[in-house]
Amino acid sequence: MNPGLQRQIGFSAWAALALLQIVWHAWLLPPARMPLAAVLVIALLPLAVPLLYWRAPARALLLAGMISLFYFCHGVAEAWAAPHDRAFAWIELLLAVTVILASARKPKRRGSTASKLPSP
């Protein structure tokens, strides 16, 4: 896949994951036991951390992929434990997997290994 397209898909899924948190927790299913502001800080703050690397998009996407592992786990837990949140949890799972897969890059090749072996 084209690295530019892969990066665009990753950033789009990352933004959609942040938007999903707002729609899910603030608009459609607000929390009953916690203040809304606390829930939004908990849900959005980790997704904002990769913005610190906005000058290095590949690094920002890699960090977003690592942080998306948390959202993957959250989606699995919500899909299992909360039937009324299951649709949002599945969307969260799909977006998190998209960010994780988009952050994966093919390693660069640095010559053959045969030329680096010492001769006997």
Question: What does 59-97 look like in DSSP terms, one character per residue?
Answer: HHHHHHHHHHHHHHHHHHHHHHH-GGGHHHHHHHHHHHH
Lowest mean pLDDT among 14-18, 48-52, 81-85: 81-85
For residue 55, give both structure tokens.
Answer: 């000058």
Q: Looking at residue 105, what is its pLDDT? A: 80
SS3 readout for 35-62: CHHHHHHHHHHHHHHHHHHCCCHHHHHH
Per cent of the chain over pLDDT 70 is: 91
Q: How many CB atoms lie within 10 A of CB 78?
A: 19
CA distance 70 to 67: 6
115: confidence class by pLDDT, cuts 50, 70, 90: low
CA distance 112 to 110: 7
User: Which residue in this structure is represented by tokens 């607000």?
Assistant: 30
pLDDT digits (tens, 9 = 90+) for 60-90: 999 999 999 999 999 999 999 999 999 999 9
Backbone angles phi, psi at 118, to 5 degrees: -70, 145
In order, the DSSP letters of 95-118 are: HHHHHHHHT--PPPP-S-SGGGSP
User: Which residue in this structure is represented by tokens 């988009």?
Assistant: 102
pLDDT digits (tens, 9 = 90+) for 101-111: 999 987 677 76
